[in-house]
Amino acid sequence: MTFNIASCHGSDRGIADVAFAIEQEQPDLVALQEVDKFTRRSGRLIDQAAQLANLSHLSHSFFIHSMDFDDGQYGNAILSRFSFENVKLEHHLDGQNRGETRSIGIISVKTSNEYRLFFGVMHLESEIENLRIAQVRQAIELYRKIVPDDQPFILAGDFNDSPTSQALNLLLTEGRLLLPCTECPTTYPADHPNQTLDYILMNTKASATFKLNNYRVSNIKKASDHCPLIMELRSSSSLFSIFNL
């Protein structure tokens, strides 16, 4: 699953609605964007990633710092049903003093004796196209250094651009990732979605390792300003659900 949670301020019940949206889909891995940690806005004692993992009954969480904000931190997170084999990368994507500093985070989990699954979350610049493209180039250079070509890799997040954009094209060409949809579901705004901004991409090894079972948005659309996006992959032994919130 990939989900831009708007710091849990997009609904009346806040973090409870976000946790419900996650729990209802029973994901194995979740990529979260716009996550607060110990901010005045969301609570000086609130680590949203850890709290969401607990409320949605996922065993593990990893917060990826993008920038300091409101006396705390702001960034992305990964929630997982599996223990992390390794936290491979936590890296800022430069805002070049023109936009917010963004980030990419990648972990690996051991789901079989045959491979490690690498899973990443990324949130890109929303307003400045050439900055967004620069961040994509930086992200590609980073993940290609640490993710072996012979291991499955899935990258999820809010990329703030359309399926036909230059940023997406770079991820599919120079980044060697695959888009698992021809007509990608719209994900924003949640109440009447008419734009595709959120994606779950995978490399060639992941495409060969898993069978794509489903790629869809959740029918729960009141927890944030983005819809949760879900990709279900079936391995030889089990159904593996990835949600981008």
Q: What is the DSSP string of 65-129?
A: EEEEETTEEEEEEEEESSPPSEEEEEEEE--TTTS--EEEEEEEEE-SSS-EEEEEEEE--SS-H
- Paired with 29 in beta bridges are 242
- Written as six digits, the tokens of 157 are 């997040």
pLDDT at 240 over 70: no
pLDDT at 80 over 90: yes
Give me Rg for the CA atoms of the chain.
16
- Paired with 212 in beta bridges are 233
For 115-132, b/e burial (b = at least 16 CB within 10 A) is: bbbbbbbbbbbeeeeebb
The predicted structure's pLDDT at residue 244: 45
Class of domain 2-244: alpha beta
pLDDT at 55 over 50: yes
Mean pLDDT of 115-137: 95
The predicted structure's pLDDT at residue 238: 57
Nearest Cα residue to 237 out of 216, 211, 199:
211
Cα separation, 70 vs 225, in Å, equals 21
Cα separation, 161 vs 180, in Å, equals 16
pLDDT at 93 over 80: yes
The predicted structure's pLDDT at residue 237: 56
- Written as six digits, the tokens of 144 are 């290609």
pLDDT at 51 over 80: yes
pLDDT averaged over every residue in the chain: 93
> What band does 241 get if pLDDT is binned at 50, 70 and 90?
low
